[in-house]
Chain A
Amino acid sequence: MPYLGCEETVKELKRALSNPNIQADRLRYRSYITRVIRSMTQGLDVSALFMDMVKASATVDVVQKKLVYLYMCTYASHKPDLALLAINTLRKDCADPNPMVRGLALRNMCNFRMPGITEYIQQPILTGLRDKASYVRRVAVLGCAKMHSLRPSTEIDPSIVNELYALLRDPDPVVMVNCLRALEEILREEGGVVINKPIAHHLLNRLKDLDSWAQSEVLIFLMRYRPRGDDELFDVLSLLDEFLQSVHTPVMAATLRLFLRLAAAHPAVQADALLRARGPLLAACGSASRELRFAGLCHVQQVLRSQPALYSGQYKRFFCGYSEPGYIKLRKMEILVELVNDENVVLVLEELKSYCTDVSPELAQAAIAAIGHIGRTYTEKCLDILTGLLALQQEHVTSAVIRTFRDLVWFCPQSIGAVCRAVEVCGENPQDTEGKQALLWLLGMHGEQISSAPYVLEGFIDGIKAELSSAVKTELLTAALKLFLCRPAETQDMLGRLLHYCIDEESDMCVRDRALLYYRLLQCGVDEARKILLGPESDPSMTVLAGRPEEPVGCWASGFNTLGPLAGADAHPDAPPADSSAQHCHSTEEEVVSKPPCQPGLTLGPPLSHEAFERLWVELRVLHRQTLGFPPPAAPPETLQAVLQLVKVQALAFSRCEARPWKAYVCARAGSTLVLAELLHGDPAVPDSQDALLLSVKQRPENLQAIRGFVSVLKTSAVQVQGQKSVT
């Protein structure tokens, strides 16, 4: 009962806490304090007891102290003046001979969330950083971060930052990791803790002593480090190698991510790392706890995006257990679809078929959709199974099968005949909107091959008054008209009735307008209607290329081992972006979404040296030339470089702003393509460059889409520079 009788409770507790008899009895006193905390947990406002609780903090009983501190940390921001009363006791405790008491006091003092506290805690924290007990040092280091979070706007104290950098060499591993965490938070504005060569190597060498959480965090910090040269890179990788086989999934995943990033320029090393991580990832997929299994599966899906063949031998590991929760089964089915090849297709289909009768309609439908997906490659086998499922005569199964048929016919025109026969004999019609739409589409599109089509359609038309969904009605109109065009004799009468009803009685404007449109179209003549309604059909002699192209590892590696893969299909638009690396992963995701998947956005890569640029520029020929329609930006070269860096374009050389002719050389990467470009203005030898910038692009290998992406990026950033200038 959190809200009822709350005042009563507070009053009673207050009476009890101020009762000297109870105060004298240690156990009873503590039990009342416990009750206060319990009420607090339930959401009761017990801030009125603050004074009594402060009194209770002056005790030698450690448990009581901890409880009171917990209380004070929660309410200190409401009662800053009273909280100051407790500070004295806390400061005294900070000098206690027992390191545990020192640590406890310091930690809680830092936890008080009120702005005025900083001046009181600064000194104890500094003393704590030099304490001989590592327990106190751990607390003090994080205390620095807490202090900063209380006053985020104030200037950063360089002495503390230096001290923390020095403590990275602390013998206690937890102190070291805490230092990284604290520095990261304090220096967030400046881009976080700096990982230079000595620090990176120190961290790599200490990695073994850390617990698994610290390891995975340190591995993420190490992503900032770029080894100089291949020799160092391979030294680093060989140090990391053993962690790739770690039994702790998070550590393994973090190592793999680091591997993929460090070896971005060496695809062979990346592939090898993925192969070596296969065992541990599979182990995660079979782990005893379902949540870890889920995380493992999501990560396997990521790997499959670029190496679909890697796991196909292990397909049996992705068969669903009966008692597994739905979210795991769904992921496993998605993976199974990716793993299908000539050898295992029979067994996989057999397995998926058994899921089609699952108790949960959602899972059954997902299984049917999965079979349909496989059907794009192995059409005949899947059609047999799907047709067999229609015989079950279950509503949700039939609906899903019909929907799958619709998609299959679209992808594999050679399956039209078999699908039409199956629809023909199907005794039951789907009852849900989606299923009805799919059936109507099939009837309209391929009505000439389904002899019973007019009868089915008539059933729908007779029941139109009871139909609620306007989407179904519109689909029905289209289907009836299409069928009329190929089988006029049987359909004319019912089409008339349908149009009459829809124009005269229907209240939904969309449906009515559609009906009117069709009516007038028919008035213009049948040939006219046929031309408009029956578009080009897919050519039955052609087949779709099965499977999607393998993506480069870089597309997903940045999001690996974050929340990204887990959010998956039902990704929320507002997935929490956080640290810089996460934002980066987010932005690449958006790029992938906003552009068609085959057009990679600009990607980061190792910077190109000036010599290499010059050599390439001479070697290659100009592929594309256009004027950009604006004069060169009047900003100094430094600003331009910074702006271009943001959009992943490397600037190699600029002229000064007033110079005529003005020139700039830039380069960028889009996936595996290297784009080189020259910007030219005011060169008397080139007439096009008189008024506006002239852009010439060279490329290796050729990729026209990359050029388009590159040009649009350049244009937006130029607009940005112009905008900045006008503001200043």
Chain B
Amino acid sequence: MIGGLFIYNHKGEVLISRVYRDDIGRNAVDAFRVNVIHARQQVRSPVTNIARTSFFHVKRSNIWLAAVTKQNVNAAMVFEFLYKMCDVMTAYFGKISEENIKNNFVLIYELLDEILDFGYPQNSETGALKTFITQQGIKSQHQTKEEQSQITSQVTGQIGWRREGIKYRRNELFLDVLESVNLLMSPQGQVLSAHVSGRVVMKSYLSGMPECKFGMNDKIVIDKQGKAGASDEAGKSSGKQSIAIDDCTFHQCVRLSKFDSERSISFIPPDGEYELMRYRTTKDIILPFRVIPLVREVGRTKLEVKVVIKSNFKPSLLAQKIEVRIPTPLNTSGVQVICMKGKAKYKASENAIVWKIKRMAGMKESQISAEIELLPTNDKKKWARPPISMNFEVPFAPSGLKVRYLKVFESKLNYSDHDVIKWVRYIGRSGIYETRC
């Protein structure tokens, strides 16, 4: 249970404070500011204990969100609640920044009022919340009968995420598979850890109460079908195409019972944009790029760095927005860079050489070499060599996920699966993509 929720800016000024329980006083607000935000040393732990009160905090850009409680609660739950809170706020007004919070503070109080009651989480689905939150301020007595019945039906929780009677002239569906691939590689090219966290984001503009069915190359499903039908040969060939999903979560609209029993994803979609599922894979990841670093120390005042990047996907595809960040020591005095492709620059303020390439096709390689002049220092400390990090965007899913079908059924209105215009797009981005050097 949460006793109170505070939002601070980076200076420690309170932007929002909402207290749910009597045992949390005004001094709790100050205690957190003094002990955590203004503390001189680094943050020691996301959970802070001050005078028998626990503070859980999450930082977004330079905004601190803190939940306070005097009870022995389940920490992971409080953190998950804070993330959800951030998600809801982002859904309402975009980025969480001091300015946005100040401008929307009435809205935030309204949200806090609905999400938590007496410190207990009540309702956090953005779609359903929209019924209760009235940013424009509707007048209660002039509501039409229709609107009222809508609220009642949503309030009584039949289908909380979609209202009745939606109509579109063109029925369209947009499906984006967005993945971020994370990698930590040793200097010798050994993968230390790699995982892909992906999201399936949909935008649906469909009339009525359609029933959708979504299929992908999930290993468990493919294997099952392979066993049931055809020869072993066919099963094997399709087995290569399938992926093993480590874990996934769904939007509340997905019927979990069906997923558990037959692993099919069927749902009545909300209207507009929403995140259908989230998943993680750790096996057989296609690493779009390999970074091969070579650092040589020439005496005490010079470093030679050579970095080769190799793209590892179909030659017909193009990667975009490629950026390689090669860290340099603090006592760098000058850098000469030669690169065959793209532009490279030494940014003294960031202590790094930033190499940007606009586009790069698959199965290519490109290299950069740099000579770094160092100032002689009497600091005996060895340079810690931070890893080389990389950013990019590729038009495929690094996990290997493929959408097999997306079917729409609407029994009451007269449009069928063929009349719906569907768009599918894959985007793979880099998460934390680091190679040690």
A564 proximity list for chain B (CB < 8 A): 72
B29 proximity list for chain A (CB < 8 A): 43
Query: In this complex, what residue of A is CB-closest to B50?
Result: A572
Stretch at the interface among B77-85, B167-175, B263-271, B365-373: B77-85
Q: Is A392 an interface residue (CB 8 A)?
A: yes
B83 proximity list for chain A (CB < 8 A): 289
How far is A98 from B386 in the complex, measured between Cα atoms in Å?
A: 60
B193 proximity list for chain A (CB < 8 A): 286, 316-317, 319
Per-residue interface assignment for chain B, residues 371 to 401, with 1 indicating a CB less than 8 Å from any chain A CB and 0 otherwise: 0000000001110101100000000000000
A37: contacting residue among B106, B157, B249, CB under 8 A? B106
Min CB distance, B82 to chain A, in Å?
8
Q: Is B260 an interface residue (CB 8 A)?
A: yes
How far is A37 from B110 in the complex, measured between Cα atoms in Å?
A: 12
Q: Is the CB of B118 within 8 A of A572?
A: no
B192 proximity list for chain A (CB < 8 A): 316, 319
B156 proximity list for chain A (CB < 8 A): 132-135, 172
Query: In this complex, what residue of B is CB-closest to A96?
Result: B140
How far is A279 from B280 in the complex, measured between Cα atoms in Å?
A: 12
Q: Is the CB of B22 within 8 A of A149?
A: yes
Min CB distance, B411 to chain A, in Å?
25
Q: Is the CB of A62 within 8 A of B121?
A: no
Interface centre among A37, A99, A288 (most CB of B within 10 A): A288
Taking residues whose C-beta sits less than 8 angstroms from the other chain, chain A's interface range is 35 or more
A284 proximity list for chain B (CB < 8 A): 76
Q: Is the CB of B117 within 8 A of A249?
A: no
A41: contacting residue among B17, B82, B257, CB under 8 A? B17
Q: Is A482 an interface residue (CB 8 A)?
A: no
Q: Is the CB of A283 within 8 A of B280?
A: yes
Query: In this complex, what residue of B is CB-closest to A30?
Result: B137
Q: A99-B151, A135-B155, A250-B80 are in contact. Are A326 and B260 (CB under 8 A)?
A: no
Q: Is B62 an interface residue (CB 8 A)?
A: no
Q: Is the CB of A322 within 8 A of B387?
A: yes
Min CB distance, B328 to chain A, in Å?
15
A38 proximity list for chain B (CB < 8 A): 105
Q: Is the CB of A211 within 8 A of B124?
A: yes
- How many pairs of residues, A versus B, come closer than 8 Å at their CB atoms? 227
Q: A34-B106, A41-B17, A577-B72 are in contact. Are A292 and B80 (CB under 8 A)?
A: yes
Q: Is A539 an interface residue (CB 8 A)?
A: no
Q: Is B52 an interface residue (CB 8 A)?
A: yes
Q: Is the CB of B109 within 8 A of A70?
A: yes
Chain B interface helix/strand/loop/mixed? mixed
A208 proximity list for chain B (CB < 8 A): 256-257
How far is A672 from B45 in the complex, measured between Cα atoms in Å?
A: 36
Per-residue interface assignment for chain A, residues 150 to 169, with 1 indicating a CB less than 8 Å from any chain B CB and 0 otherwise: 00000000000000000000
Q: Is B228 an interface residue (CB 8 A)?
A: no
Q: Is B241 an interface residue (CB 8 A)?
A: no
Q: Is B340 an interface residue (CB 8 A)?
A: no
Q: Is B414 an interface residue (CB 8 A)?
A: no
A 644-671 contacts with B by CB, 8 A: none
B45: contacting residue among A134, A316, A323, A327, CB under 8 A? A327
How far is A632 from B317 in the complex, measured between Cα atoms in Å?
A: 88
Q: Is B47 an interface residue (CB 8 A)?
A: yes
Q: Is the CB of B109 within 8 A of A67?
A: yes
Min CB distance, B374 to chain A, in Å?
17
Min CB distance, B237 to chain A, in Å?
29
Min CB distance, A147 to chain B, in Å?
11
Min CB distance, B132 to chain A, in Å?
6
Using CB atoms and an 8 Å cutoff, list the residues of chain B in contact with chain A. Answer: 1, 13-17, 22, 26, 29, 42-47, 49, 51-54, 56, 58, 69-77, 79-83, 105-106, 109-110, 113, 117-118, 120-124, 131-132, 134-135, 137-143, 148, 151-152, 155-157, 184, 192-193, 195, 197, 246-249, 252, 256-257, 260, 280, 380-382, 384, 386-387, 431-432, 434, 436
A–B Cβ pairs within 8 angstroms, 28 of them: A38-B105, A42-B13, A60-B141, A64-B137, A67-B109, A97-B148, A98-B148, A133-B156, A138-B122, A174-B123, A213-B80, A249-B76, A250-B77, A250-B80, A279-B247, A292-B76, A295-B79, A316-B193, A322-B434, A327-B45, A392-B381, A392-B382, A562-B75, A563-B47, A570-B45, A575-B49, A576-B52, A576-B71
